[in-house]
Structure formats: C-alpha cells, structure tokens
Amino acid sequence: MSADEDVRTTVCPDGPMLVRGASSWPDDNGELHPVRRPVVAVCRCERSQLAPWCDGTHKALPRGWDTEGKGRPVKK
Ligand code: FES
C-alpha cells in the first residue's frame, strides 16, 4: 500500500474489513502481501489461517465478538 493509492475500507460487523484500491496489505509483522483483486477481505478476528486475509473462520465465533468494533474477539 502506498500513500498515493485511493484505498477505501468498509468494516463488516462481526466480520472482515473490505479493502478496495490497495496494491498490497501488511500483516501483523509488517510484511506486505500483494493484492491481486479489486476488493479483498482482511481478517479482523485474528483467527484466520490465511492472515492477513479472511478465511471465513469468523463465522464460527459467537455472535457479537466484535461488540467494541475493534475487531478483537471477546476472550473469556
Ligand atoms: S474476519 Fe474472517 S477469518 Fe477473521
């Protein structure tokens, strides 16, 4: 992702963040992953096996895991 890109994001409640217009996206370690599609889903639940991309694992989490809107699962 570079500063001159027109990147737009949309947060899906209890789901990923949709990213449009990025050429790459960083993982938690800062490593950049190339984006090859117009829209990609970035994991917010921190459970994906394909991070930084969403692999659908969030669907197995209890509803409301994103209650604070920060993308962190509720841990008990
Ligand atoms: S948001 Fe979908 S796997 Fe994490």
pLDDT of residue 71: 54
Which pTM value belongs to this model?
Answer: 0.83
Alpha carbon distances (Å) from 12 to 2, 63, 69: 24, 13, 9
| Higher-pLDDT residue of 14, 3 | 14
Q: For 60, which DSSP code?
A: G
Alpha carbon distances (Å) from 43 to 1, 4, 23: 17, 24, 17
pLDDT of residue 56: 97
In three-state secondary structure terms, 59 is: helix
Question: Per 3-state DSSP, what percentage of the chain is helix, strand, and coil (rounded to 5)?
Answer: 5, 25, 70
Atom from ligand 1 closest to the CA of residue 57: 3
pLDDT tens per residue, range 6-18: 999 999 999 999 9
How far is the C-alpha of 6 from the C-alpha of 11, rounded, in Å? Answer: 17
CA of 41 to the centre of ligand 1 (A): 8
